[in-house]
């Protein structure tokens, strides 16, 4: 394809300015917290290097962003592997422009001598979008589910009326136990969530990797309205948290990162009341939608799926993970390596 015809210009965010990167991110419909400048900085603390790629199309006096990708790169046994959570994200009405942008993106990845890049675009699974990614390898083993739940943030009355009858019942049952609901920020957010998380690990033998919540809170800072962009909502009983979740904010959207509950909380349906209380708080903050996080596409997490789906959000199915690699063998070996690393 003639690049002059489509007038695509590849730009690398050489200066790594937070304001510039996040400004471009806001222009994409697929804007998400995992492509934010702050998420990349957080991952630097876990020994990832960050490669920020912006592809634009020059139109008259200003460049129009077409593709944005924050790529995390790490050397393992001398081999560069990479992960692009929530990206790349793309936008344009012309398929050939997108195809050219993806070609340039691939060339840049190859120029960095990356063995395999696993991508997880925040892009809806439609027939048109599928066509754009047909040339890339689809892995047998994936790290994430392509499905998530997007919940509209409403007033407490409207929200309660909108959820499924059984969930509404559980909310009302939980309210009988008179939990005190508190929001924590910074180090207190981390401390209170970990108190509940450690109880859950001990009781359920369940464990998952956590980010450094305190560092993430510090990096994200406050919204334009002065609200901290990372917080913990916790339900308190006898002066101790028994249920909690970690939330981050990006523009008018909230992201539900983690939740934990004690045995007492599970017996009293406290997690259901927590979502009700969370909606009240997000509404006060002017947040419009919440990404509730993944649900399984194979019924492997029936309990989680039931819980999240019952709040009557919309299922958003992404196109799913794909690999960028110079050979199918490299993609296959990368898939086997992560399957060995994360298998249960």
Give residue-wise pLDDT tens across range 5-57.
445 565 665 456 899 999 999 999 999 999 999 999 999 999 999 999 999 88
Do residues 200 and 92 share a domain? no
Task: Answer with the residue of higher pLDDT: 103 or 58.
Answer: 103
Which residues lie across from 188 on neighbouring strands? none
Do residues 157 and 220 share a domain? yes
Do residues 244 and 111 share a domain? no
How many residues are recorded in the chain?
344
Do residues 167 and 265 share a domain? yes
d(CA 261, CA 241): 9
Percent of the chain with pLDDT over 70: 92
Do residues 77 and 91 share a domain? yes
Do residues 136 and 266 share a domain? no
What is the model's pTM? 0.91
Assign 227 to helix, strand or coil. Answer: coil
> Cβ neighbours of residue 46 under 8 Å, at least 6 residues apart?
none
Do residues 165 and 272 share a domain? yes
Average pLDDT over residues 107-116: 94
- Domain of residue 122, CATH code: 3.40.630.30
Q: What is the pLDDT of residues 285-311, one digit of tens each?
A: 999 999 999 998 887 889 999 999 999
Assign 13 to helix, strand or coil. Answer: coil
Cβ atoms 283, 155 nearer than 8 A: yes
Least Cα distance to 236 among 268, 203, 204 occurs for 268
Least confident range from 97-101, 197-201, 233-237: namely 97-101
The domain total for the chain is 2
Do residues 26 and 129 share a domain? yes
* pLDDT at residue 8, as a whole number: 57
What angle (nearest 5°) sits at the alpha carbon of residue 218, between those of residues 215 and 220?
110
Residue 11 lies in domain: 3-144+318-342
Confidence of residue 177 (pLDDT cuts 50, 70, 90): very high
Q: What is the pLDDT of residues 187-230, one digit of tens each?
A: 999 999 999 999 999 887 776 789 999 999 999 999 988 889 99
> Cβ neighbours of residue 151 under 8 Å, at least 6 residues apart?
279, 289, 290, 292, 311, 312, 313, 314
Do residues 266 and 181 share a domain? yes
Do residues 133 and 156 share a domain? no
Average pLDDT over residues 301-322: 94
- Share the mean pLDDT of the chain: 90
Cβ atoms 16, 52 nearer than 8 A: yes
- For residue 339, is pLDDT > 70? no
| Bridge-based pairing state of the strands 116-121 and 322-324 | antiparallel
Do residues 312 and 324 share a domain? no
Do residues 84 and 138 share a domain? yes
Which stretches within the chain are classed as H helix?
A: 3-6, 18-26, 37-44, 95-111, 127-132, 156-162, 165-175, 186-204, 213-220, 263-267, 270-284, 302-309, 328-342
* pLDDT at residue 227, as a whole number: 87
Average pLDDT over residues 232-251: 97
């Amino acid at each position: 394809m003639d690049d002059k015809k489509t007038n695509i210009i590849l730009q690398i965010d050489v200066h790594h300015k937070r304001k510039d990167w996040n400004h471009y991110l806001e222009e994409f419909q697929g804007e998400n917290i995992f492509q934010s400048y702050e998420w990349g900085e957080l991952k630097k603390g876990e020994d990832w290097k960050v490669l920020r790629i912006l592809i634009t199309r020059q139109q008259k006096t200003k460049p129009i962003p077409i593709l944005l990708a924050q790529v995390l790169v790490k050397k393992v046994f001398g081999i560069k592997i990479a992960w692009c959570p929530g990206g790349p994200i793309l936008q344009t009405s012309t398929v050939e422009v997108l195809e050219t942008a993806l070609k340039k993106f691939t060339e840049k990845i190859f120029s960095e001598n990356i063995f395999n890049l696993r991508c997880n675009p925040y892009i809806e699974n439609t027939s048109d979008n599928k066509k754009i990614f047909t040339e890339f390898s689809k892995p047998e083993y994936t790290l994430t589910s392509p499905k998530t739940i997007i919940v509209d943030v409403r007033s407490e009355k409207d929200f309660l009326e909108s959820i499924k009858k059984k969930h509404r019942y559980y909310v009302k049952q939980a309210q009988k136990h008179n939990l005190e609901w508190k929001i924590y920020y910074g180090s207190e957010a981390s401390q209170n969530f970990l108190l509940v998380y450690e109880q859950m690990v001990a009781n359920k033998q369940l464990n998952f990797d956590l980010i450094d919540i305190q560092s993430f809170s510090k990096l994200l800072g406050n919204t334009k309205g002065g609200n901290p962009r990372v917080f913990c909502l916790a339900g308190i009983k006898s002066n101790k948290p028994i249920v909690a979740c970690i939330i981050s904010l990006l523009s008018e959207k909230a992201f539900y990162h983690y939740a934990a509950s004690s045995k007492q909380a599970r017996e009293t349906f406290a997690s259901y009341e927590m979502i009700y209380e969370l909606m009240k708080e997000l509404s006060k903050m002017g947040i419009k939608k919440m990404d509730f996080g993944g649900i399984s596409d194979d019924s492997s997490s029936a309990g989680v799926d039931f819980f999240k789906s019952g709040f009557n959000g919309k299922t958003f199915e992404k196109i799913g993970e794909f690999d960028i690699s110079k050979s199918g063998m490299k993609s296959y070996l990368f898939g086997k390596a992560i399957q060995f690393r994360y298998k249960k």
